[in-house]
Chains A and B, each alone.
Chain A
Amino acid sequence: MQSRNWKEFLITRMIKVSGYSAIIFVVMIFIFLLREGSATIIEVPLKTLFSTRWYPIEGYFGILPLICGSIIVTIGATLIAVPLGVCCAIFIAEIAPRWVREILKPLVELLAGLPSVMLGFLGILVIAPAVRQILNVPTGLTAFTGAILLAGMAIPTIVSVAEDSLDSVPRTYRDAALAMGATKWQTIWRVTLPAARSGVLTAVMLGVGRAIGETMTVMMVTGNAPVMPTGLGSLFRPVRTMTATIAAEMGEVANGSVHYHTLFFIGIVLFVISLLINLVAARIVFRQQKRAERILS
C-alpha cells in the first residue's frame, strides 16, 4: 500500500508537470528569441530598422517592406478565405444532410494536413503560370498567388472553429425562430449566426494568424522581392514576407552576425503578432464559455 501511494504521488506530479509544460514552452520560446534577437536594437539604429530598404549585404535592415509584404498577402488570403470558410461552415453545420457532412468534414481536415511545401510546389508549377496568363502580368510569382494558396491553408482552421461554434448554438434558439414563422434561411442569418458570432470571430482570427505565420508556401510562390508595396497594384507584384525572409536567409548567415540577430528580431515581431492575435481569440473563447454557462444555469 505504501509503495502504491508513492507511485500515485509520483505519477500525479509528472502529470501536473506536463500540464504546466505548455506555459514553460511559451516562456522558453520567448526567452530564446530575445536572447538571440534583442541585440538588433543596439546594433541596428531604429531609423534603419524601420526604413523601407531590406538589403542585408550592404547593411540595410529595414523591416518595413517585409512587414507590409506579410500584411498584403494576409489581407488577400483573408478576403478569399473568410467568406468561403464561413459559408462552408454554415453549410456543413446547418443545411448539409448527414452524408454530405460525413464527406465534407474529412476532406477539409485533409486540406489542413496537406504539407505547405506541397501546396507551394503546386503553386509554382500550376497556379503561378495560370495567374501570369490570366492576369497578363510579367511573373506569376506574386502576392496574389501567395494569397490564393494561403487562403487554402487558412480555410480548414476557419471552417472547423466556426462550425464548432455554430454547432454549439442551442437547438431551442432555432426551434423558437422556426416556430415564429421564420424561414430556415432567416433563422440561420438572424438567429444562429449572431448567436455564434464570437466563435465565428475567433475562427476568422485564428485563420488570419495561420495565414500570417505560413512560411514555405509564401516563400515558394510570392517571388521574394523585398519591395515596399505602394497600393492595390502591389497585390499583383512579387513581395516578400517576414516568414519567408527568415526561412530563406537564416541558412546563409553567420551565427552572431548583425544579420543573424535581425532575423531573430523578425522572429520576435512574428511571435508578438501571433501572441496578440491568439490572446484576443482566447479572450473571446473564455467570455463565450462564461456566457454559455450563465445561459444554461
Chain B
Amino acid sequence: MTDSASTPSKAKPRNTKRRNLIQRLGYAGLILAAIITVTPIILIVVYIYSRGLPAISLEFLTAMPKDGMRAGGIFPAIVGTFWLTIGTGVIAVPLGVGAAIYLSEYAPDNRWTRTIRIAIINLAGIPSVVYGLFGLGLFVLFLHFGTSILAGSLTLAIMTIPVIISTSEEALRAVPNSFRVVSISVGGTRWQTIRRVVLPQALPGILTGVILGLERAAGETAPILFTVAAFFLPRLPSSIFDATMALPYHLFVISTQVPGMPVKIQYGTAVVLLTFVLGMNSVATVIRSRARARRQW
C-alpha cells in the first residue's frame, strides 16, 4: 500500500496540491534534460558552419593539398570518402538486406535464428577500432589487399551490416501479412512474393536504413586508420587496390598531427564532412516522411 492509497479522504486537497507540485517539478526536470541534450547538437552544427563556411571555395573543394596540407584544397580526401562510401554500400547492402529478408521472411523460430540475432547485436557493439584491427589482420595482411580502398570498404561494410539488417528487418516486418497471403494465394512463389510484393512496400524503410548506415560509415575514422587511410597522398586513387585520403581521417590528421595548421582549413574540412553527413541524414529523413505519408496500410 502506498501513501496516497491509504490516506484518508479528508487529507485529499493538500495531497492533490503536493502531487501536482511534484508533477510540475518532475516535468520541469525532464524538459530540462531534453533541452540540455538537444541544444549542444544545434550549437555544434551552427558553430561549425559559422566558423568553416568562409574557408569554403571552389579551390578548397577541387584542389590538391599543398605546403604540407597547410594550404590548397582537400579534393583527394573528398574523393576518397566518396569511393569508400560507395564501396561499403556495394558490399554491405546486398548482404545486409539479404540477411534482413532471411530473418523476416524465412527464418524459423529456433536456436539458430536466436544465435544469428545475438551475433548481430554483438557485431553492432564491437568497438570500431577492433574492426580496424580485424581489417588489418584479415584483409590487409592475410589476404594481401594491402592498405587499399578494397580493404577499407570491406572493413567498413562489416561494421555497417548490423545497422542495415536491423532497420531493413523492421521495414520488412511492417508490411502486413495479408499482402503475403494474397500473393501466395494467387500462385506466387515465396521469392516472387518477396520480390514483387514485400520488397517494394518495404523499400523506403530499407533505403532509410541503408543511408543511415552508410552515413555512419562515411564518418568513421578508427576502422580505416590501418586499412586505407593515407596521411598525405596528393593524387587520386586509380584502382580499388590504392590507398587514399579520407575526410574524417584528414580532419584527425590536420587537427592533431600537423603543427601550425591554419584553423580555417580545419573548420573548412569539418564543414565538408558535416555537409556530407547532414546531406545523407536529410535524404533519409525525407524518404521516411514521404513514405509514411503515402503508406497504403
| A interface with B by C-beta (< 8 Å) | 4, 7-8, 11-12, 14-23, 25-26, 28-29, 32-33, 35-36, 83-85, 87-88, 90-92, 95-96, 104, 106-122, 124-126, 152, 155, 159, 182-186, 188-190, 206, 209-210, 212-216, 220, 243, 246-247, 250-251, 255, 263-264, 267, 270-271, 274-275, 277-279, 281-282, 285-286
From B40-48, B68-76, B235-243, the one touching the partner chain is B40-48
Encode contact with A along B193-228: 1 for CB under 8 Å, 0 otherwise: 000000000000000000010011011111001100
Also in contact, A11 and B165, with CB within 8 A (given A83-B33, A152-B40, A281-B121)? no
Also in contact, A110 and B226, with CB within 8 A (given A28-B138, A87-B34, A271-B126)? no
Contact check, B226 vs A251: say whether CB atoms are below 8 A apart.
Answer: yes
Residues of B within 8 Å of A279, CB to CB, are 118, 122
What's the nearest-Cβ distance from chain A to residue B283, in Å?
Answer: 12
Q: Chain B residue with minimal CB distance to A17?
A: B98
Question: Known pairs A20-B116, A29-B131, A115-B251. 19 more at Cβ < 8 A?
Answer: A12-B190, A15-B106, A18-B96, A25-B158, A87-B34, A110-B281, A118-B48, A120-B252, A122-B47, A122-B48, A183-B19, A213-B127, A220-B252, A250-B225, A270-B129, A270-B130, A271-B127, A274-B127, A279-B118
Residues of A within 8 Å of B215, CB to CB, are 113
Residues of B within 8 Å of A159, CB to CB, are 37
| Interchain Cβ contacts under 8 Å between A and B, 7 examples | A16-B102, A16-B106, A19-B116, A26-B123, A29-B130, A32-B142, A121-B251
Residues of B within 8 Å of A19, CB to CB, are 98-99, 101-103, 106-107, 116
What's the nearest-Cβ distance from chain A to residue B113, in Å?
Answer: 8
What's the nearest-Cβ distance from chain A to residue B116, in Å?
Answer: 6
Residues of B within 8 Å of A271, CB to CB, are 126-127, 130
What's the nearest-Cβ distance from chain A to residue B78, in Å?
Answer: 14
Contact check, B23 vs A185: say whether CB atoms are below 8 A apart.
Answer: yes
Give the residue of B98, B126, B225, B255 whose beta carbon is less than 8 angstroms from that of A18: B98
Q: Chain A residue with minimal CB distance to B124?
A: A278
Contact check, B33 vs A213: say whether CB atoms are below 8 A apart.
Answer: no
User: Could you say which of A21, A186, A213 has the most chain B C-beta atoms within 10 Å of its C-beta?
Assistant: A21
Question: B184 in the interface, Cβ–Cβ < 8 Å?
Answer: no
Also in contact, A36 and B133, with CB within 8 A (given A15-B102, A220-B255)? yes
What's the nearest-Cβ distance from chain A to residue B37, in Å?
Answer: 5
Interface residues of B in 109-150 (CB under 8 A from A): 112, 114-134, 136-138, 141-142
What's the nearest-Cβ distance from chain A to residue B57, in Å?
Answer: 21
Contact check, B162 vs A32: say whether CB atoms are below 8 A apart.
Answer: no
Residues of A within 8 Å of B274, CB to CB, are 114, 118
Residues of A within 8 Å of B123, CB to CB, are 22, 25-26
From B24-32, B59-67, B175-183, the one touching the partner chain is B24-32
What's the nearest-Cβ distance from chain A to residue B128, in Å?
Answer: 6
User: Could you say which of A108, A117, A186 has the most chain B C-beta atoms within 10 Å of its C-beta?
Assistant: A117
Residues of A within 8 Å of B174, CB to CB, are none
Also in contact, A215 and B98, with CB within 8 A (given A25-B123, A282-B117, A286-B114)? no
Contact check, A121 vs B99: say whether CB atoms are below 8 A apart.
Answer: no
Contact check, A206 vs B125: say whether CB atoms are below 8 A apart.
Answer: yes
What's the nearest-Cβ distance from chain A to residue B136, in Å?
Answer: 7
